[in-house]
Each structure stands twice: as structure tokens, then as C-alpha cells.
Amino acid sequence: MDDLSRDNPLAAVSPLDGRYSARTAPLVSYTSEAALMYTRLRVEIEYLYALDTLDAVSFSLDDADRDTLGTTLDSFDGDDAAMIKRLETEGAAGYSATNHDVKAIEYFLRIQTPSYIHPWIHFGLTSEDINNLSHRLLIRSGVDDVLVPALRSLRDELVSLAQDYRNTPMLAQTHGQPATPTTFGKEMAVYATRVGTAIGRITDANDGLTGKLAGASGTYAAHVAAYPAVDWQAFAQSFVTGLGFEHTRLSTQINPCDDLAALFDALCGVNDIIVDLDRDAWLYISNRYLGQQSTAGETGSSTMPHKINPIDFENAEGNLSKATSDLRFLADYITNSRLQRDLSDSTVKRNIGAGLAHALIGYQKTTDGLQKVVPNQTVMRSELESHPELIGEAVQTILRREGDTDAYERVKELTRGEDVSLADFQDLFASLPVSESVREELQALSPLSYTGYATDLVDEIDEDHTQK
């Protein structure tokens, strides 16, 4: 084991960077430490640009300075990230180890720029001014660019199943018992709409992220001390909204994380919906309502060659449950801080990526599972035909319409706890004091066609929420 390189996925401490690294790779640009370094650097440079616009501040950038800053950001690579890490942990380029990740960004930017710019790097700021904006820039983009597209792909699979099998009747089960028939398509339409609505909640929360730039205690004290004539509140609002966030007017050293908690709660909401779907899919496979396409060369069981296990749905359920656990912990934890600031949230926020990654795996695995399932319409039909008692609901309802006050009790006596056949119902219909047209109406009832508006309800899938 000693010869395994740290860069080898098989040596990863977490499966997110090991076994599942190919699946979580799309999040690297948004949740890795290198991505955070780059985004902190971006915010520091954007701040210098903003200072340059203030006539009252004795600082200006010429074209060469702007070219230098732009190139520093545009050319940022792994070597630059390694240099920042050395500045933090070992010291480099004449600087002692900072033991402070944001200060290391400041020193790195000093190395890249002329000395007359150095006093203005991080001018009047606290590290949390940089961090709160950087984290939110990454999270917002990661959710928009990776998680939401994955959710939309999942939803598209549900819509396809809903439309393709809208006319496929299926036994419903309430309390685990046979119940009024539905169609497989209609059940998939329910999930498609739930996921679509949940995507809307996620995008709303993501669009509502906030930012602060108010200094060490949220009072702008250092800025005001240096340049009392500048309206620093207006400056901060312009800077924060320029990054696409709502401005937090009142804060301590940290930006209260209620906005992030709302986003994490929204992600937990969609995770819960998909876990519900995964468990239903598992049960449909178990009772043979769904078959699974086999993959050439794949092994389902180490000892039972015939098996095709519902591993995608099982894997998705596990990863989504882990994601929800992580995200709920984050939502609870990051909204608390002792007095004006304590650092416990800093290490916790470094784990946001893990929560998002487990969610991403869950969305991908569920989508994979949906792409492999094939409704077994023969089994569904046979199951319905073996439960003629299902028309009992329709029978007693039609009889109620005709004024039969004992309709429910009449059908209950025939069916409850009994093995009943369609012939038994025909005998009942023959004995009823109803008109011939009503008798024919009752005789035409069948579990296969007793699905109400199920087919048409597929058209009610709500698409509005997914287009934001």
C-alpha cells in the first residue's frame, strides 16, 4: 500500500475522489480548494478594480496594471494554486508561512503586481468579506451548471416514461394493499411534476444568495477611518450586486448564512423526492412490474448468475441519504456564530462540496436506473385481472348515485376479506333493483379500464418551474 500515489484515485480517503471520481469531476471547478483559491483571487482583483473607480481614494490602475491583473486571473493554474498553498503552509518568495489561507492569496497577488499596488490589496477588508462572496460564487455556479442540469435530465426521463406509458394500466397500492388502478405513466408524471417544482425552489434559493463587504465587525470601520467622505455602504452594495448577489446591509463579521441554509433545504427537498422515487422503483422491480435491461459483461451477483439487481436505485438512495444528512447538518450549523464571529463554520464550509457531490451521484444513478427499466405490461395486466374486487369502489359509487343507501355495505359484504370473482359481481348486479342501463354500466366495469383520468393527467406535468 505504501507505493500508492496520493494522486491515485484508489488511495483517496473518500469515494467521492476515488470510486466515484468520474461522476463527481464536474464539481471540481466549483468545490475544490483550487477553485476556492481562484475565486478568492477573482474577488480580490474585482475589489481593486472597484477601488479604482473611487475619485476620493488615492489609488489608480493604469492599462498595464489592468493587463497584469487580468493575466494573473486568466492564467491561473495548478502551479499557482500550489504556490498559494506554500505561502500558507511553508512560506515562499520571501514571505513566511501565513497559516491563513486568505492572507496567502494577498501575498500571491503581491508577487504578481508592482509594489505600489500592494497597500491596496485587501484594503480595509476582513477575510470573511472575501470568503462569503467566494463561497457563494462557487456554490451558485455549481448548482446552476451541474446540479440543476442533472436534475433536469432526471426529470426528462420521468417525462418520457410518463408519456410512453400513459395508457399502461397498473395496480395501485395504498398501505401496501391493492387499490384503485392507475397507469404507470401517470405515476411517473407525479414524480416529474414534483421534481420540476423542487427545481424551481432550488433556483429561487440560488438566485436569492446574498453578500457582504462590511469589514471586521460589519461596521465599515476601517474604510470610514481611512476615507470618511466615501459612501462605503453604497460602494459595498454596488460591489456585491455587481457579482449578482443581494446586498446584506446588516451583518457581523460574517454574512449570516440563512440564504445558504435555504438553498441546502431546497436541495434536501428534491433529494427526499428522489429517494421516494428510488424506493418505489425498487418495489416495482421487486414485484416484476418493471424489468431491467441487462448490461453485457456485468455481474449482478457473485454467486447467482441470473440476477440483475436494482443497484442504480439502491446506490442513488444511499448517496442521496448521505447528501441530505450533510446538507441538513450544514444548514443547521452555518447559521450560528458566537457573538460577532467564530471560526468553527470555516472548516464546516469546506465540506459543502461533499454534500453536493453525493447529491450529484444520486441524481445520475437514478437517471441511469430510469433509462434501464422497461415496464412489464403483461405482469401489470395479469395483476389487475387477478383483483376484480377493485371495481367495488366504482360499484358502490354508482349505486350511491342511484340512491342506494346501503351501497357501501352491500359491496363490503361481498368483497372484504373474500376471494371474489367478476362472476360474483355479475350475480350481485343481477340481483340489484336497478334499471337495465345501470346494470349494463355495472357489468362493463373492469379493473383494466378503471383508471379515471389517469391517461389525460400526464398532460398536467408542470414545466414552468424548470425553465427559470
pLDDT at position 198 over 50: yes
Catalytic residue among 301, 382, 421, 435: 301
CATH number of 388-446: 1.10.40.30
pLDDT attached to residue 406: 92
Q: What residue spans in the chain does CATH classification 1.10.275.10 cover?
A: 32-120
pLDDT attached to residue 15: 83
Decide if 306 is catalytic.
no
Q: What is 127-376's CATH topology?
A: Fumarase C; Chain A, domain 2 (1.20.200)
pLDDT attached to residue 462: 73
Read off the pLDDT of each residue in 368-395 and give the average, rounded to a whole number. 96
Q: What residue spans in the chain does CATH classification 1.20.200.10 cover?
A: 127-376
Average pLDDT of the residues of the chain: 93
pLDDT attached to residue 293: 78
Residues 208 and 272: beta-carbon distance below 8 Å: no
pLDDT in tens, 317-329: 999 999 999 999 9
pLDDT at position 301 over 90: no
pLDDT band at 468 (very low <50, low <70, confident <90, very high): very low
Catalytic residue among 5, 115, 175, 306: 175
Q: What residue spans in the chain does CATH classification 1.10.40.30 cover?
A: 388-446
pLDDT attached to residue 4: 57
pLDDT attached to residue 297: 52
pLDDT in tens, 109-128: 999 999 999 999 999 999 99
pLDDT attached to residue 294: 64
Read off the pLDDT of each residue in 362-386 and give the average, rounded to a whole number. 97
pLDDT attached to residue 124: 97
Decide if 301 is catalytic.
yes
pLDDT attached to residue 418: 83
pLDDT in tens, 10-59: 667 788 888 888 999 999 999 999 999 999 999 999 999 999 999 999 99
pLDDT attached to residue 300: 52
pLDDT in tens, 55-103: 999 999 999 999 999 999 999 999 999 999 999 999 999 999 999 999 9
Q: 347 or 177: whose pLDDT is higher?
A: 177
pLDDT attached to residue 307: 45
pLDDT in tens, 427-452: 999 999 999 999 999 999 999 999 99
pLDDT attached to residue 305: 46
CATH number of 32-120: 1.10.275.10
pLDDT attached to residue 463: 59
